[in-house]
Structure 1
């Protein structure tokens, strides 16, 4: 149900630790039933309020537990594969069951990365640092999640031994009382040892990372890309007050005017706000009223002159830059050392590094996220699922559907 104050519903789902190896089939067996129930309940909530119902999915990552000092670049591939698999599963379920996870009044699912041991025993003592740093994601521990004070009207937990242990830890470390709703779980298959030591040879640490895109009608593909961009940057170490920044290049309105269904494109300001809102959810776990942010809007002449810079309590700066070419700040800011992109835009990463080479600058380390598809489900359920799946991952398709809703007679 909607809250009395009219705000959108907000709930938390505590998943148990994932299968290992975390293939898509194994993730579906472990999480499919749970996610289906949670998404259906959230869809019922969203139909009664303006705005999407927010479902925050706490995803335990055993390989991140006790690894806060390991370079993020060494942990990127494994983390990306897990996050991509769960986001893909959410999309497959939504496509198969007709659940709206793509529009502004559907279900807004966001994955939170939880550094949590497979055995549920919280024996690791985190390194000491500033209080603000302990509240910074995208990788958080159970204490940070339980004590962040977010106003979840319901906390979903899974009916399994691992799920009960995780809920017990959450409640023991938490400050407030929550309405707990238990959902059925699946089968978590374990046939692989989690103790994979990351290869640390020639691994780079990054303190300035970039990503780019239109980010129109923010969808699950964007969420994967932004989550892994936030993951790629090194967390603050004790006593290190140096600036760390994430540069988000967001295409300017003028470059998009010839896009299909351009009348339903979001403005640059709306796209910037949606991008920031998502990143803020997965990065800043400050308690209510405790997130002291500095916001600065720049309007300088020339390329990349328009930007909105938000400095978070941990000193991480989110630089939302209006871009007018495929390169953006990656060829005007030498301090950027890494670029996160999808497999579809791999050639763009090569072009950026070619430009940087011309300037005599170091090449960017390029991190790639998966292009989500539903080939397995198409084989099992037919082409319709694949089409529905793709419509949830395409800004063009989302605009087309909006156009049809606005002009039903023309669509017919």
Structure 2
């Protein structure tokens, strides 16, 4: 398999998330260290393929994730990941960092199962393979994994020091450590932290799907893909039906009428970008950068072209070329959950109507937020024009169409030289 993970530029160890994890609370806690790291990685002289920032995000509510369904943890986790990616995108828009182009900074959020006090940390029970696969990982799995960071950043606080000390005691790395000024991690004393949603009946999901063009992979895609990987429940060694993730990626012929279609990536480039990101948040094998195996299939009929990627735990990721709005969701009865963005809610409803026509079980449909800076960006002292400029730059970073438009404008500018 083609290499998906060169030497990572930097790892940022953040202190545990605030509670409740509102955008304002995450900004107060993380704005300063994120800005410093983005500046350092963005201004480095490393090749573009090595400008990666892995952000380890300790989440106390995930400490006992092996004992409950992933769906019961979905709402809080989605809120945290969406708000942090929004903050990253706003900082990048304000400072002019490229987090959306092939030559930009590849930002990835890694979810750590870690207690708030850092003292009651105990590795979760489970199979050895579970310790090596994300998107939820233990500190030990992160410290021992094959990734080699040129710099580890840590936040100057009691919680930050505890996490760094634990990480270094396991990693035994010689890479430089830089300590950063942090913010204020707010934890409301009036709101007890719930590990999971106890208000609704939740299900185990063994086969989760998502679909899209995934052209010029951006932060909105990363949120969607993170939550797809998050939602599928790990399977035990004795279970016959292993976990499956199906990623439907639109065929090129269906995209000819898209704006700036000449700058669309081909199907294989889009599949490889999606896999590179997923592999970066899933694979934490200590010795092997690529423990997975992959094969491409071309069968007759709908959804016959796919790349199948198998991990040691049994997790199968299917990258399927789709030729209609439904893809495998109406040809594979075993799919049991669908992840969508809030703006494609009608698509989820249409899928379930098609499945009902076949007398199949309907899919559980889970949503991710549409990333938006409109209500978030109110920096003190900013003029209306500055706020609007940041909002426009933000949208340019989370829209494949806008990314293609910028490429078209750059290409036109070069042709005039």
Q: Is TM-score (shorter-chain normalized) higher than 0.5?
A: yes
Kindly state the Cα deviation for residue 287 of structure 1 after the two structures are TM-superposed: 2.1
| Cα distance change, pair 325–411 in 1 and its aligned pair in 2 (3 A) | farther
Q: Relative to structure 2, which stretch is displaced further, 244-253 or 296-305? A: 296-305
* Aligned residue in 2 for 1:64: 62
What corresponds to 2:153 in structure 1? Answer: 156
The 5 Å alignment of 1:364-375 reads 364-375=363-374
| Cα distance in 2 for residues equivalent to 1:149 and 1:181 | 21
Distance 1:409 1:276, change over 3 A: closer
Cα deviation for residue 52 of structure 1 reads 5.8
Question: SS of the residue aligned with 1:362?
Answer: coil
Aligned counterparts of 1:190 and 1:411: Cα–Cα separation in 2: 55
Match status 1:99 vs 2:104 = no
Q: CA RMSD in A?
A: 1.8
Instruction: Provide the C-alpha distance between the structure 1 equivalents of 2:202 and 2:129, rounded to a whole number of angstroms.
Output: 27
Whole-Å separation in 1 of the counterparts to 2:292 and 2:46: 32
Judged with a 3 Å threshold, the aligned counterparts in structure 2 of structure 1 residues 183 and 343 are, in CA distance, closer, same or farther, namely same
Shift of 1:238: 5.1
SS of the aligned residue for 2:375 comes to: helix
Against the structure 1 CA distance between its residues 8 and 143, is the aligned structure 2 distance closer, same or farther, given a 3 Å change threshold? closer
Structure 1 residues 103 and 113: alpha-carbon distance in aligned structure 2, compared to 1, 3 A threshold? same
State how 1:6-405 maps to structure 2 within 5 Å. 10-45=9-44, 48-51=46-49, 53-129=51-127, 131-191=128-188, 192-199=191-198, 202-237=201-236, 239-289=238-288, 291-380=290-379, 381=382, 382-405=387-410
Change (3 A) 1:16 1:378: closer
Contact 2:136 2:230 in 1 (8 A): yes
CA contact (8 A) 2:62 2:195 kept: no
Counterparts of 1:365 and 1:202 in 2: how far apart (Å)? 12
Query: What is the CA distance between 1:8 and its match in structure 2?
Result: 6.2
- 1:126 Cα deviation after fit: 2.0
Asked if structure 1 preserves the Cα contact closer than 8 Å seen for 2:41 and 2:51, the reply is yes
Distance in structure 1 (CA, Å) of the matches to 2:416 and 2:405: 10
Could you report, residue by residue, the CA deviation over 1:338-394 in whole angstroms, capped at 9, with x for unpaired residues? Answer: 000100111000000000000000000000000010113455442111100000000
Secondary structure of the structure 2 residue equivalent to 1:339: strand
Q: Which moved more, 1:263-272 or 1:169-178?
A: 169-178
Give CA-to-partner distance per residue, 1:69-111, whole Å, 9 cap, x none: 2000111000000000100000010011111111011111000
Q: Whole-Å Cα distance in 1 between the matches of residues 284 and 240 of structure 2? A: 19
Count, aligned residues: 404
Of 210-219 and 287-296, the range deviating more from structure 2: 287-296
Preserved CA contact (<8 Å) 2:123 2:138: no
Extract unaligned runs of 5+ from structure 1.
1-6
Instruction: Provide the secondary structure at the position in 2 that maps to 1:407.
Output: helix
Q: Secondary structure at the match of 1:247?
A: strand
* Displacement of 1:176: 2.9
Cα deviation, residue 257, structure 1: 1.2
Distance 2:146 2:64 in 1: 24
Aligned twin of 1:4: none
- For residues 105 and 263 of structure 2, the distance between their equivalents in structure 1, rounded to whole angstroms, comes to 20
